[in-house]
């Protein structure tokens, strides 16, 4: 099969992913192509397992010669890909068991608004902040990039400033609206987050987006950028607001941690910890979100290394500050019948507290509690039908 045909084949797979409203496409040796739909991976029906040669050929069909050389040197590569007129994709090519694997995530052209994403009203207030650090956190695939894109778009439509994003790779594309938008990609426009952040202070930005705070250098520079009067957004892979604060502080040597606590207590403006959960009807996902908005008491707790006391401040800060714990978010979704109790309990950090909140908020609690423990739907891994002429190609056997 020629490279052009392989490129056409991977684009056909991506088109099918979009038709199925899927989020990710996985290509691995020994497995048929798999698509993630509403959080669950499913094999594409009527498509055989990929051979080592086929898995490599599909990946290489969307790489430039320069990217192939870089991948063969580093054994992993991140880049973006466009299916013209349909969607962009974030692509990761990597080695596993000596064979080439590929993961592709759909990045839609359209940037969703706050209401469509289910973001709480306090997010709009964070977008109006003149300076400070806002962290959006959660596990991989929880929608952090989508939330940040929505926030950047809100700023782009309502403020008259310079937005600078540093990403690996660039995901959502932002046109110049009310703002001037500069988007820099690692490996293409800069060599590292640290280099780009140091240079950013000479590029006259007002808002800076850091794709991911991966290391001490990036976290230190993010704090400095926020401290010098810029509204700074960044992501981390943490699940709660207190653990996010601890993560930022703990990456530094012990001798620096007191200084970092003070610095963080002064610049932090918000932490949003999110997760995507299957909805109650099983045909989509909804977002739950823990929100910390630092008031003077929270800032004192951060500075005094009393992070464990922040949770109680969040519990009490909903009405006045817009804060909410993950359990409060889950209970609210359960009350609206957006998620099941079983789903809420599967992610809750404190199930007894969650049950109490749900009991107070919903008369359906007792019935739902009796149903908890039901089996996983039998068709969760049912293959997705995908008829393709390539299924019977001779070079796919073995």
Predicted model pTM: 0.87
In this prediction, residue 398 carries a pLDDT of: 38
In this prediction, residue 388 carries a pLDDT of: 42
Q: Please report the domains of the chain, with CATH numbers, ordered by start residue.
A: 3-108 (3.30.450.90), 114-324 (3.40.50.300)
- Tell me the C-alpha distance between 33 and 10, whole Å: 10
- What 3-state class would DSSP assign to 232? strand
**pLDDT tens string 177-232:** 999 999 999 989 999 999 999 999 999 999 999 999 989 999 999 999 999 999 99
- Tell me the C-alpha distance between 279 and 297, whole Å: 36
Regions in the chain scoring below 70 on pLDDT: 1-3, 361-398
**pLDDT tens string 27-69:** 999 999 999 999 899 999 888 999 999 999 999 999 999 999 9
Is the Cβ–Cβ distance between 388 and 47 less than 8 Å? yes
Contacts 24+ apart (CB under 8 A), 239-243: 239/137, 239/138, 239/139, 239/273, 239/275, 239/326, 239/349, 240/273, 240/290, 240/326, 240/349, 241/271, 241/273, 241/290, 241/291, 241/292, 241/310, 241/314, 242/307, 242/308, 242/310, 242/311
Is the Cβ–Cβ distance between 21 and 40 less than 8 Å? no
């Amino acid at each position: 099969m020629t490279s052009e045909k392989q490129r056409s084949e991977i684009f056909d797979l991506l088109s099918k992913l979009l038709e199925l409203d899927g989020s990710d496409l996985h290509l691995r040796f020994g497995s048929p192509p798999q698509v993630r739909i509403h959080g669950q991976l499913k094999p594409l029906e009527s498509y055989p397992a990929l051979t080592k040669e086929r898995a490599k050929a599909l990946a290489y069909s969307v790489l430039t010669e320069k990217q192939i050389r870089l991948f063969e040197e580093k054994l992993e590569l991140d880049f973006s890909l466009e299916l013209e007129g349909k969607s962009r994709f974030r692509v990761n090519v990597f080695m596993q068991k000596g064979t080439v694997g590929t993961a592709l995530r759909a990045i839609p052209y359209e940037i969703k608004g706050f209401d469509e994403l289910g973001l709480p009203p306090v997010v709009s207030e964070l977008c109006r902040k003149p300076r400070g650090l806002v962290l959006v956190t959660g596990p991989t695939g929880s929608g952090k990039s989508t939330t940040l894109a929505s926030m950047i778009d809100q700023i782009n439509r309502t403020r008259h400033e310079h937005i600078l994003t540093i990403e690996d790779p660039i995901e959502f594309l932002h046109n110049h609206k009310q703002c001037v938008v500069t988007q820099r990609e690692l490996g293409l426009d800069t060599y590292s987050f640290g280099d780009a952040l140091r240079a950013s202070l000479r590029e006259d930005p007002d808002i800076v987006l850091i794709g991911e705070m991966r290391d001490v250098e990036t976290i230190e520079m993010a704090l400095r950028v926020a401290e010098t009067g810029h509204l700074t957004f960044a992501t981390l892979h943490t699940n709660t607001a207190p653990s996010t604060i601890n993560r930022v502080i703990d990456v530094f040597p012990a001798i620096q941690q007191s200084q970092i606590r003070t610095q963080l207590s002064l610049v932090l403006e918000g932490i949003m910890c999110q997760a995507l959960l299957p909805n109650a009807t099983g045909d989509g996902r909804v977002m739950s979100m823990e929100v910390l908005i630092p008031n003077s008491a929270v800032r004192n707790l951060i500075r005094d290394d009393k992070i464990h006391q922040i949770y109680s401040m969040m519990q009490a800060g909903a009405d006045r500050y817009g804060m909410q714990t993950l359990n409060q978010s889950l209970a609210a979704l359960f009350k609206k019948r957006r998620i099941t109790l079983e789903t809420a309990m599967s992610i809750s950090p404190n199930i007894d507290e969650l049950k109490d909140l749900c009991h107070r908020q919903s008369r359906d609690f007792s019935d739902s509690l009796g149903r908890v423990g039901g089996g996983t739907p039998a068709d969760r891994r049912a293959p997705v039908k995908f008829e393709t002429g390539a299924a019977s190609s001779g070079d796919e056997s073995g």
